[in-house]
């Protein structure tokens, strides 16, 4: 699937399933990209990945020839967004979008003039996304994270932003935003689910994609059934630890027998 095809599917609100990359481990990323996910997200905000690691991860994803590579950028600012797109990302997930003005700024950073203010310098992206500016604009997706109290309050206006392709729920920060003492706080479960429903409804009304970050594969189905159109599963670092723990427990249990 090309970047243009991926963009069309996401904008058409087709169901997509992705995976989260937090480790600067290109060989591992390449293997994950081969298993059948629609996209992989390279996390530059909270992942253990710098600029060169981001480039290497996108190279690994492209080498696998299956999933499309997205980048969660560190902040809503043109330089970081431009770096990710010039490195060959098929799109960006932008954190901490609080207002429709924030969303419009994110969209502008992903589009070339006259539609936006992206600077022309596709060092890698011209090989994969584009290469003509109008083609790059049509093939590049921009997704806003709704994860703050202000973003939640403005979610309908954010979703109505021209050029925005989707919104994305980071459940940890959204839980804190509705008053949770910690991510997954059961004391605010009702408030959290109301917020989740509000975001999904706003995206559906605007006709844009809505994504959710889930902790495991089993968690994706219910959110997709709820009306979310794409889901990203956990991350490589968490699954590496979980696999190691499982093998250790199995080994000790076997030894005790």
Active site residues: 46
* Alpha helices (runs of H) in the chain, residue ranges in sequence order: 3-11, 26-33, 51-64, 78-86, 100-110, 133-139, 149-153, 155-159, 171-177, 189-206, 217-226, 236-256
Distances from the Cα of 13 to the Cαs of 1, 23, 225, in angstroms?
Answer: 16, 29, 13
The SS3 assignment for 220 reads helix
- Nearest residue to 173 via CA among 162, 163, 185, 165: 185
The upper half-sphere exposure of residue 108, i.e. CA atoms within 13 Å in the direction of its Cβ, equals: 11
Query: DSSP of 192-207, one letter per residue?
Result: HHHHHHHHHHHHHHHT
- Nearest residue to 140 via CA among 89, 93, 96, 190: 89
Are 23 and 48 spatial neighbours (Cβ–Cβ below 8 Å)? yes
């Amino acid at each position: 699937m090309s970047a243009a095809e991926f963009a069309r599917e996401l904008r058409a609100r087709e169901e997509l399933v992705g995976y989260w990359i937090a480790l600067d481990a290109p060989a591992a990323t390449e293997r994950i990209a081969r298993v059948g996910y629609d996209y992989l997200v390279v996390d530059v905000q909270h992942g253990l990945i710098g600029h060169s690691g981001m480039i290497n991860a996108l190279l690994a994803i492209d080498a696998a020839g299956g999933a499309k590579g997205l980048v969660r950028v560190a902040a809503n600012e043109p330089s970081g967004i431009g770096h990710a797109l010039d490195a060959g990302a098929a799109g960006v997930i932008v954190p901490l979008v609080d207002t429709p003005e924030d969303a419009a700024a994110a969209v502008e950073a992903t589009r070339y003039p006259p539609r936006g203010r992206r600077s022309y310098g596709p060092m890698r992206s011209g090989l994969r996304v584009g290469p003509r500016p109008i083609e790059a604009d049509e093939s590049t997706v921009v997704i806003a994270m709704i994860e703050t109290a202000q973003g939640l309050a403005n979610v309908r206006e954010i979703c109505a932003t021209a050029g925005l392709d989707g919104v994305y729920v980071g459940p940890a920060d959204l839980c804190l935003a509705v008053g949770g003492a910690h991510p997954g706080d059961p004391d605010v479960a009702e408030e959290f689910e109301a917020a989740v429903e509000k975001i999904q409804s706003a995206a559906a009304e605007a006709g844009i994609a809505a994504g959710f970050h889930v902790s495991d594969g089993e968690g994706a189905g219910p959110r997709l059934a709820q009306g979310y159109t794409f889901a990203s599963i956990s991350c490589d670092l968490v699954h590496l630890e979980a696999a190691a723990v499982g093998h250790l427990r199995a080994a000790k249990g076997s030894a005790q027998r």
